[in-house]
């Protein structure tokens, strides 16, 4: 997985609440069997009209936001389905950091599996960051120090230590867990004795 340490760039403002995963990447793009190539379809229905032409005033279609690495969005970003295609499409577009007041649990988790940093800020901070994004102020995200800096704004953010560590090192979760194989095997043999009905074959 790609590491995330620091990120610098302008942020795209998307002041809509409850941006759901259907909005981020609609159903027709879930038919792929690959993780890549979804960036062009990110926010498809807002980004393209019914004829497939770019909607000129949609933020990610305008310069310089078409090169955004950061997104600032309204409350409850990423609600809805578990589709990891949502973070895949954000990442494929180039977005590595999303800032909002809250994220849906599954989406939040999926971001960390893909080297994307979701940052939770409070409502006042979001309002100020949204304005900074609109005025094309450069953002500096610093994960080791857990800070967002944009113009004269500077905020700290919280992140669980293990998530931070995984992003900083770009660690593969499966590799870590496979280090605990003996524990898993011993759990299974205990449970087979205690609750044998759980081990009937499907």
Partner 1 sequence: MSNQSPKTLFDKIWSDHLVRQREDGTSLLYIDRHLVHEVTSPQAFEGLKIANRSVRRPAATVAVADHNVPTINRQNIEDPQSKIQVETLAQNTKEHGIQYFDLMDQRQGIVHIIGPEQGITQPGMTIVCGDSHTSTHGAFGALAFGIGTSEVEHVLATQTIVQNPAKNMRISVNGDLPFGVTSKDLILYIIGKIGTAGGTGHVIEYAGSSVQSLSMEARMTVCNMSIEAGARAGLISPDQITFDYIKGRPYAPTDSHWDQAVEYWSSLPSDSDAHYDHEIVINSSEIDPMVTWGTSPEDVIAVNGVVPSPESAKSENKKKSIERSLEYMGLQPGTKMTDIKLDKIFIGSCTNGRIEDLRKVATIVKDKKIASHVQAMIVPGSGLVKKQAEEEGLDAILKDAGFEWREAGCSMCLGMNPDQLKPGERCASTSNRNFEGRQGRGGRTHLMSPELAAASAIKGNIADIRDFT
Which residues are near partner 1 by CB under 8 A?
15-18, 20, 22-23, 26-28, 30-35, 45, 50, 74-76, 79-84, 87, 102-106, 109-110, 113-114, 160-162, 165-166, 173-174, 176-178, 180-181, 183-184, 187-188, 191, 195-198, 200-202
Instruction: Give the shortest CB-8-to-partner 1 separation in angstroms.
Output: 27
Closest CB to partner 1 among residues 154, 180: 180
Instruction: Give the shortest CB-63-to-partner 1 separation in angstroms.
Output: 25
Which tokens hold the place of 180?
Answer: 């605990």
Instruction: Give the shortest CB-170-to-partner 1 separation in angstroms.
Output: 13
Burial profile 134-143: b = 16 or more Cβ within 10 angstroms, e = fewer: eeebebebeb
Closest CB to partner 1 among residues 63, 195: 195
d(CA 43, CA 24): 4
How far lies 62's CA from each of 17, 42, 84, 153, 189, in Å? 21, 14, 26, 24, 58
Closest CB to partner 1 among residues 9, 99: 99
CB atoms within 10 A of CB 165: 11
Supply φ then ψ for residue 166, to 5 degrees: -65, -40
């Amino acid at each position: 997985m790609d590491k995330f340490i620091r990120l610098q760039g302008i942020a795209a403002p998307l002041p809509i609440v409850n941006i759901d995963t259907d909005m981020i990447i609609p159903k027709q793009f879930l038919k792929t069997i690959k993780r890549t190539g979804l960036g062009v379809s990110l926010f498809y229905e807002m980004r393209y009209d019914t004829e497939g032409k770019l909607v000129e005033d949609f933020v990610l279609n305008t310069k310089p936001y078409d090169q955004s690495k950061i997104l600032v969005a309204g409350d409850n970003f990423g609600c809805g389905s578990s589709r990891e295609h949502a973070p895949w499409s954000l990442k494929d577009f180039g977005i590595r950091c999303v800032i909002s007041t809250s994220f849906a649990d599954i989406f939040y988790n999926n971001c960390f599996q893909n080297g994307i940093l979701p940052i939770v800020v409070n409502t006042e901070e979001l309002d100020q960051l949204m304005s900074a994004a609109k005025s094309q102020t450069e953002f500096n995200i610093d994960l080791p120090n857990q800070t967002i800096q944009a113009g004269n704004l500077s905020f700290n953010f919280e992140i669980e230590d293990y998530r931070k560590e995984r992003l900083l090192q770009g660690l593969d979760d499966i590799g870590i867990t496979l280090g605990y194989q003996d524990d898993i095997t011993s759990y299974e043999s205990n449970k087979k004795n205690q609750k044998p009905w759980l081990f009937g074959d499907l």
